[in-house]
Amino acid sequence: MAVPKKKVSRARRDKRRANSYKLTAPALSRCIQCGALKTPHRVCSSCGFYKGRQVITVADEE
């Protein structure tokens, strides 16, 4: 059996593992109705539309 000759320090071990834990940016798509950025397969928070239908009513803050 292969046995390590020296102890691997915590810094060296963690540097090796650092690349496997990277986060990915969330996917964004444009709303068909208003053009705002939203997450896919979710109701648009700015206009309340989903797949071309009004799902929720959004109060205008003007």
Judged by DSSP in three states, 54 sits in strand
Q: Is residue 12 part of a domain?
A: no
Give domain status of residue 53, yes or no: yes
b/e sequence 18-32, b meaning 16+ C-beta within 10 Å:
eeeeeeeeeeeeebe
Q: Find out whether 15 and 5 touch, Cβ atoms under 8 Å.
A: no
For residue 16, being part of any structural domain is answered with: no
pTM value?
Answer: 0.55
Q: What is the pLDDT of residue 61?
A: 54
Helical H segments across the chain, by residue range:
10-17
Q: What is the pLDDT of residue 24?
A: 87
Share in percent of the chain as helix, strand, coil (round to 5): 20, 15, 70
Q: Domain of residue 59: give its range.
A: 25-62
Residue 54 pLDDT > 80: yes
State yes or no: pLDDT of 60 exceeds 70: no
The answer to whether residue 3 is domain-embedded is: no
Answer yes or no: is 20 within a domain.
no
How many separate domains does the chain show?
1
Residue 43 lies in a domain: yes
Give the model confidence (pLDDT) of 4-42 as tens digits.
999 999 999 999 988 888 888 889 999 998 999 999 999
